[in-house]
Structure 1
Amino acid sequence: MGNLARTLQQEETQKKKYQKELAPKKAEISKSWFSPGEKILGLIFGAALCFGGVHVISNQAMIYNMNKNIQETETSIQDQKKVNNDLKMQVSELSTYDRIITKAKKLGLKLNENNVKVVQEK
């Protein structure tokens, strides 16, 4: 009888295996690392980070251009100051008393000391 019990037990285990194979399989739910809310927050954070980076870079580019324009303006101001100083030197050289007298004599003018008025610059 020992064999009969074993064969019955084997038949029962085979039936159970067969029933498990025929039974509808449950879909396994894959567990993701992040929930949908965390994914949305991550996307928002990433977008804000990208926007901030682009904003900082564009501000730095504008600052660079502004500094470049300021330096160009300063150099043009320095050049103009040099030109102005050169012209002041020419004015002071050309307005000396001796030069004016020689020009006046070349043009045929005579010095009348009674008619001379003294003008002083401030």
Structure 2
Amino acid sequence: MDATATVYDVLQQNCLPRGLLPQGVQSYTLGDGGALEVTLPGECNFFVTADGKQFKFRYGHTVTGIIEPGSISSINGVRMQVAFEWLGINQVNRVGNQLNIQLQNSTQPFPISAFTHSASCN
């Protein structure tokens, strides 16, 4: 791997959009078997719009998961608001031009275009 690669490059090398992570990543490590750990300056909240609806995401200071081509599994540190409840995101899979985000008890599809750009934290 290129020593100057950013975590956004790692996402794109695995056929995932850079917008899965917000702007401002401080550091990351990529270990054996695709173990990925990302450090943000602090908690990060942002909205993603898809099909005319807004979805709120919350990223913790540290986000971890296992990255491989087309997916990130065993995700920790990322939640998505569904109705009035915050649900943990377990896995993200790319299927063609769609991302399927697996929550605790459901799967939410998003077009890849919803994650083309990295969001700014609020």
User: Relative contact order: is structure 1 or structure 2 higher (C-alpha 8 Å, sep ≥ 6)?
Assistant: 2
What is the TM-score when the length of structure 2 is the normalising length? Answer: 0.16
What is the TM-score when the length of structure 1 is the normalising length? Answer: 0.16
- Between Structure 1 and Structure 2, which shows a larger proportion of strand residues? 2
- Between Structure 1 and Structure 2, which shows a larger proportion of helix residues? 1
